[in-house]
Amino acid sequence: MIHDKSMDALDAHFRQWQKTAEQLRAQLTPSLKIQETLKKSLGPLLEAQTALEKAVGPIISQQNRWGELIESFKVPQFAVPDLSILAEQTSHFQKVLRECITPAFERLQRSFRDLPPRTQEALLLLGDHGWYLDLEMPLPGLWELKEALSEGNVAEAENALAEHFEARQEEIEKSISERFPHRAHLIRAAFNAHRREEYELSIPVLLAQTDGICKELVHQYLFIKRNKKPGTATYVDQIEADTYRAALLSPLAKTLPINASECERPAGSAALNRHTVLHGESLDYGSKINSLKAISLVNYVAHVLEVGKKNP
């Protein structure tokens, strides 16, 4: 069911990194097995070498003292097999293996360690432009969007985001409606208005449902401030700061264009803002891009907050 899928959406992001780790482990497993096999194979040989040295040691000593006599009678001389070359090869193999494995795992550890701050930076940058994460987006796609926005390629990033949410609108509508069946009639009305290009109608409903979903899930509003922060920040602040989950929810703890108050909005700002829309101050908010941004927001809140609630 889509409900189950949305509840596991955060895990899907973790699985992308786990998959990388598993691929690396799969590549290294044959080498590790060879190392273990070689170690087991050489063990008895090295033990045999030690035992052989003890057994023939006295004979070798006698052989050295009576070398000329032994040579004259053609008595066979004993020599201990030199197995040290095998030990050297084992040591060399282990060193090469460590040199291959260690950097790979260090890179993987750095990736996991850098994931929360990198994610937070990307999501806040999206929020600054009015967009919010869809958990169906792959992480590499998120980094590409961040790079495009950072480099000033706003039109390129917005076109990609608009295409993504336009293609996903039916799935998003269905998933939110199934998660919140008591809101389904309002969600359906908003999406139908979007499809009819009646954006002046779709946007206010989507923004209202966003706040209602926040209140329902975490008992806080996104668009009501407390100590100059969104009410939802109270919930986000309870999560350990350096975790991926906190990074994922970070837009709900910050003032962004969508929830900026009058004194926080730049003069002449045309950014989509809940207050100016619902209080009738903005008369030109009704565009397809703004409607898709509102879809991205309600989708984000419905699924990311739910995941956060499931995994506090």
Q: What value does the mean pLDDT of the chain take?
A: 79
Q: Are residues 194 and 71 in the same domain?
A: no
Contacts of 118 (CB under 8 A, 6+ apart): 143
Q: Are residues 144 and 191 in the same domain?
A: yes
Radius of gyration of the chain (CA): 33
Q: Are residues 168 and 268 in the same domain?
A: yes
Q: Residue 174: what are its φ and ψ, rounded to 5°?
A: -65, -40
Q: How far apart are CA 220 and CA 235, in angstroms?
A: 8
Model pLDDT for residues 165-222, shown as the tens digit of each residue:
999 999 999 999 999 999 999 999 999 999 999 999 999 999 999 999 999 999 999 9
Whether the predicted pLDDT of 1 surpasses 50? no
Q: What is the dihedral of CA 34, 36, 37, 39, to 10 degrees?
A: 120
**Lowest-confidence segment of 1-15, 42-56, 246-260 by average pLDDT:** 1-15
Residue 47's pLDDT is 66
pTM of the model: 0.69
Final residue belonging to a domain, choices 45, 77, 111: 111
Q: Work out the average pLDDT over 237-247.
A: 84
Q: Are residues 99 and 128 in the same domain?
A: no
Q: How far apart are CA 40 and CA 43, in angstroms?
A: 5
* Burial of residue 199, with CB atoms counted within 10 A of its CB: 0-12 exposed, 13-18 middle, 19 or more buried: buried
Q: Are residues 72 and 168 in the same domain?
A: no
Q: Work out the average pLDDT over 126-141.
A: 92
Q: Are residues 64 and 147 in the same domain?
A: no
Please tell me whether residue 29 adopts helix, strand or coil conformation: helix
What Cα–Cα distance (Å) separates residue 109 from each residue in 101, 113, 243?
Answer: 12, 6, 14
Model pLDDT for residues 245-300, shown as the tens digit of each residue:
889 999 999 999 999 998 999 888 899 999 999 999 999 999 999 999 999 999 99
Final residue belonging to a domain, choices 77, 111, 145: 111
Q: Work out the average pLDDT over 69-96.
A: 55
Residue 16's pLDDT is 56
Contacts of 160 (CB under 8 A, 6+ apart): 144, 145, 148
Q: Work out the average pLDDT over 216-237.
A: 91
Q: Work out the average pLDDT over 114-125.
A: 87
Whether the predicted pLDDT of 43 surpasses 70? no
Q: Are residues 100 and 68 in the same domain?
A: yes
Residue 240's pLDDT is 80
- Within a domain: residue 167? yes
Whether the predicted pLDDT of 114 surpasses 90? no
Q: Work out the average pLDDT over 62-75.
A: 50
Residue 116's pLDDT is 85
Number of domains composing the chain: 2
Q: How far apart are CA 183 and CA 177, in angstroms?
A: 7
- Within a domain: residue 3? no
Residue 197's pLDDT is 97
Q: Where are the alpha helices (DSSP H) in the chain?
A: 2-7, 9-65, 67-73, 84-128, 139-150, 154-179, 184-195, 199-218, 233-236, 244-249, 274-278, 288-300, 306-310
- Give the 3-state secondary structure of 172-191: HHHHHHHHCHHHHHHHHHHH
Q: Which two tokens stand for residue 283?
A: 């008369």
- Within a domain: residue 2? no
Residue 283 gets which letter from DSSP?
S
Q: Residue 277: what are its φ and ψ, rounded to 5°?
A: -75, -55
Segments forming the whole domain that contains residue 264:
116-310
Q: Are residues 149 and 181 in the same domain?
A: yes
Q: Are residues 87 and 159 in the same domain?
A: no
pLDDT confidence band for 241 (50 / 70 / 90): confident
Calculate ∠ Cα 42-47-53, nearest 5°.
Answer: 125
Q: Are residues 273 and 192 in the same domain?
A: yes
Q: Are residues 107 and 44 in the same domain?
A: yes
Q: Which residues face 225 on adjacent strands? A: 230
Contacts of 301 (CB under 8 A, 6+ apart): 132, 210, 213, 214, 217, 222, 252
Chain Cα centroid distance, residue 61:
67
